[in-house]
Structure 1
């Protein structure tokens, strides 16, 4: 009993140490890190902030402009004046001083509604920037989970190859003992050594692929992490709707389509802005000023001071500009028509892409089921062959073939599983649902 207690204690310590030696990077943690540190998302957030500033009322000419000006002048010169009666006066170093200060306000009372449409266009431009930021986040989601599930794929493939190598090493050990005791030929021993070497090479290649995939994930995360972390390898498939439901979702939520719709709205306002130039504009200008001057003896006035309010209205109407504005309006209408054509083209493109991806997804799910059945079959075959090999009823070549079939079927099932998941992510991105589901 004492031995058992010590054994259990050692086992617990080993388990705890293994838990600390490998960090598990969950999908939720990876998503949080990415949203905080990804370079593309940071740039998209800054661009959205710029668009927000541009759509402010301060960028629309709705507010008046106010300016303060002031100045002082000093003049020192020699002056000679001659009066009507013929008398003259001369002053050397005559000094003239003047001071002024004013507050000026200018405001456009009416500009043909161009300012109103421009403000609405800026709002739509901000909405377009928000959609562009969302598209960046969606693309980053796709990159993140593609890289994450790629690591999970390579991790499971590596585990399969480690298992294969361990089986080959056990077989080599058995072949060595049999050869030493004269129960087997050297050919069987050499075959076992070759298989161990081949399995070792395959494992090293898998480890290299796994390390490269982790570096790719680190780039998406926007951090520099050590490569000794593990990821979750469980795959959960979402309950997707049928194709027609996904298509309807795409028409309503797809980010690319929403951007095209915003471009049409911006084009509509661009037409209205150019048409506003056909109407007159009315402006108000007013100022409050103060002026003071000090004059030499040669001046009629020794000095003067004035202050007061000035106000005025100005009306301008460009009756004919040679047809320039007419051309701008025509071009704006054509640009709007092009945006509508681009929208219809994008709708058809997304429908075709969605259909192809949906068919590929259904096919991949069938392959996944078939590969799962293959794993059960090859596992059963390998276990029986292994038992017969240990009894000397099958050759090492037959055993090796059963082993290869089993490992290949597990790898094929593993690849089919993650291929299906990556296609599912594509469907979610096309339908605009990628930000709304759990992976």
Structure 2
């Protein structure tokens, strides 16, 4: 394509041929709708996969065993060997002797009461799982919003490219027309140079816009976490229909559905459970312990009379059961201080929620007003674009009849291009504004569920 543009000075028809070839190549590519792009992104995005693993860990931890509801059972075994050399005449055992023992058993420990820590810990584990799910939901929201804007940005750059393409075709026809007039002697070299400069400018703008279009495509592929070199034909249109929105309804929906706010509520609940766990340390701990041990022992040596002593296979069994009550009477008020600090942390969490609600309300009102302004601008630019297209058609006919100069015609061309770009950007801005509102009100996941 670059070589085609460079050769436009010698043969402008190659530009149109190159653009037609580009259109043919695009048709051979796979189609991609916005829904498909989001589905691909949700399946492939690395941050979503990481968040999913965090949820899996939280789900595995959320059980009564982790909370300490059931007893712990342990097994133990020990083997001992002893050798001694006794030369004391008063000792019953003389000379070298050896003894051995094997002890094994099992032990059960069960905390029957510890200030309701088990129930509190289980509730806390549930909130930790919900926290992981909430964090994952935020990642999903970010991914969906990024893919939506990335998808429509590709369409925006493509439509801009089409607008420059249209202008480039007009400049190409104009250059050919002026070249024919010069060959017939009815146009000067100066007029031809003016037309050629316009064609070169449009060719340069086309190349730069083509680069912006390719960059937008690669960025969309990155957001979908796929090969950045993949190319698609986007099937959705760069268009937006204004939604009738009520600011009061949006506020209510935001306060109940905004995921960031919901996550803060979960954090507050976790702090409450932490505070209750610390308060549970003020209660006594009542526990039960039971178990059994078996010991097998043996001895080999000589008595003072020189008689050999050899015993083996001696066995003994021990059974035990204990109940214990532990109560911390004083530990330097560490528990009380820690409990007081957690109460302060809970108050900080309440203040954070109030601040977040106020901040989100302000963001929502700003987003609503911005969206309203952008939709109004969208309809204004649409009318302006229709006028610019009609003006360009009229100017083309007038230029061919010599009613306007090449400078005037070029001004009309430039005005059309600027108007088209402004309209396309206003469509994208309206879509972006609507997406921000949907995200703030917590509906972006529901819309693409």
Report the secondary structure of 2:118's partner residue. helix
Alignment of 1:376-395 (within 5 A): 376-395=386-405
How big is the shift at 1:53?
A: 2.5
Counterpart check, 1:34 vs 2:41: yes
Alignment of 1:423-438 (within 5 A): 423-437=433-447
Partner residue of 2:10? none
In the alignment, is the contact (CA less than 8 A) between 1:152 and 1:232 conserved in 2?
A: no
Moved more, 419-428 or 66-75: 66-75
Q: Distance in 2 between matches of 1:298 and 1:274?
A: 62
Structure 2 unaligned segments of length 5 or more: list them: 1-20, 304-308
In the alignment, is the contact (CA less than 8 A) between 1:78 and 1:90 conserved in 2?
A: no
Which residue among 13, 17, 21 is the counterpart of 2:28?
21
Q: Distance in 1 between matches of 2:241 and 2:130?
A: 33
Q: Distance in 1 between matches of 2:88 and 2:63?
A: 60
Partner residue of 2:55? 48
Report the secondary structure of 1:435's partner residue. helix
Q: 1:375-434 CA distances to partner (integer Å, 9 max, x unpaired)?
A: 111111111111122222222222222222222222211111011001111111000011
Q: Distance in 2 between matches of 1:390 and 1:438?
A: 51
Q: Distance in 1 between matches of 2:67 and 2:73?
A: 15
How big is the shift at 1:179?
A: 1.0
Report the secondary structure of 1:296's partner residue. strand
Moved more, 215-224 or 19-28: 19-28
Partner residue of 1:413? 423
Q: Distance in 1 between matches of 2:299 and 2:25?
A: 96
How big is the shift at 1:95?
A: 2.2
Moved more, 378-387 or 336-345: 378-387
How big is the shift at 1:189?
A: 0.5
How big is the shift at 1:19?
A: 6.9
Alignment of 1:214-233 (within 5 A): 214-233=217-236
- Relative to the length of structure 2, the TM-score reads 0.89
Q: Distance in 2 between matches of 1:89 and 1:164?
A: 118
Q: Distance in 2 between matches of 1:372 and 1:208?
A: 26
Q: 1:305-351 CA distances to partner (integer Å, 9 max, x unpaired)?
A: 11242111111000122211110111111000000000000000001
In the alignment, is the contact (CA less than 8 A) between 1:80 and 1:89 conserved in 2?
A: no
Q: CA RMSD in A?
A: 2.2
When residues 312 and 272 of structure 1 are mapped into structure 2, their CA distance, relative to the original with a 3 A threshold, is same
Q: Distance in 2 between matches of 1:37 and 1:219?
A: 10
Moved more, 270-279 or 422-431: 270-279
Partner residue of 2:3? none
In the alignment, is the contact (CA less than 8 A) between 2:114 and 2:284 conserved in 1?
A: yes
Q: Distance in 1 between matches of 2:200 and 2:297?
A: 103
Q: Distance in 2 between matches of 1:44 and 1:404?
A: 49
Moved more, 231-240 or 54-63: 231-240
Alignment of 1:143-182 (within 5 A): 143-182=146-185
In the alignment, is the contact (CA less than 8 A) between 1:211 and 1:227 conserved in 2?
A: no
Report the secondary structure of 2:195's partner residue. helix
Q: Distance in 2 between matches of 1:315 and 1:238?
A: 69
Which residue among 251, 261, 264 is the counterpart of 2:265?
261
In the alignment, is the contact (CA less than 8 A) between 2:240 and 2:430 conserved in 1?
A: no
Structure 1 unaligned segments of length 5 or more: list them: 1-13
Report the secondary structure of 1:284's partner residue. strand
Q: Distance in 1 between matches of 2:443 and 2:124?
A: 28
Q: Distance in 2 between matches of 1:432 and 1:374?
A: 35
Q: Distance in 1 between matches of 2:105 and 2:310?
A: 23
Partner residue of 1:422? 432
Moved more, 394-403 or 287-296: 394-403
Q: 1:79-136 CA distances to partner (integer Å, 9 max, x unpaired)?
A: 35766xxxx5554332212111101111111111123212211211211111111011
Report the secondary structure of 2:446's partner residue. coil
Q: Distance in 1 between matches of 2:42 and 2:53?
A: 14
- Relative to the length of structure 1, the TM-score reads 0.91
- The alignment of Structure 1 onto Structure 2 pairs a total of residues equal to 422
In the alignment, is the contact (CA less than 8 A) between 1:80 and 1:298 conserved in 2?
A: no
Partner residue of 2:322? 312
Q: Distance in 1 between matches of 2:160 and 2:360?
A: 34
Q: 1:50-79 CA distances to partner (integer Å, 9 max, x unpaired)?
A: 222232323212121111111222223323
In the alignment, is the contact (CA less than 8 A) between 2:83 and 2:96 conserved in 1?
A: yes
When residues 219 and 22 of structure 1 are mapped into structure 2, their CA distance, relative to the original with a 3 A threshold, is same
Q: Distance in 2 between matches of 1:22 and 1:375?
A: 30
